[in-house]
Structure 1
């Protein structure tokens, strides 16, 4: 199940948001469910926000020895549709 982030529609107005939705909260929900429209605590409107994506930073491409030590199988193309294991 993916994790979705929600934030109050009016985070600057303490009358229209509680401490939870003002700071934002994460919620694990099935993909086929509709997004939340109200905070679970104060029942005021919330909106789903786009989360940051965590991607690894690779400074250089992996060498054959690095890939083998990481457990990958290295194949080299010999002919059309023919690969040889290194």
Structure 2
């Protein structure tokens, strides 16, 4: 299940948000469910926030030895449709 982030529609107004939704919160929900519309504690409106994605940064292409160390089988093309294991 993916993790979604929500925040109050008016985080600066203490009457329209509790301390949880004014700072924002994360919630695990199935993909097929509709987005949350109200805070679970104060029942005031919240909106879904698009969060950053954590992706690994690859600075250089993997070498044959790096691929083998990672457990991959490295193949090289010799002829049309013929591959040889390195």
TM category (shorter chain) comes to over 0.9
Residue ranges of structure 1 left out of the alignment (5+ in a row): none
User: Which residue of 2 is the match for residue 40 of structure 1?
Assistant: 40
Q: CA RMSD in A?
A: 0.9
Question: What is the CA distance between 1:82 and its match in structure 2?
Answer: 2.4
Q: In structure 2, what is the equivalent of residue 59 of structure 1?
A: 59
Q: Distance in 1 between matches of 2:66 and 2:40?
A: 48
Stretches of structure 2 lacking an aligned partner (at least 5 in a row): none
Runs of 4+ in 1 over 2 A off after TM superposition: 79-82
TM-score calculated relative to the size of structure 2: 0.94
Counterpart-to-counterpart distance in 2, 1:44 and 1:77: 61
Instruction: Spell out the pairing of 1:1-86 with structure 2 (5 A cutoff).
Output: 1-86=1-86
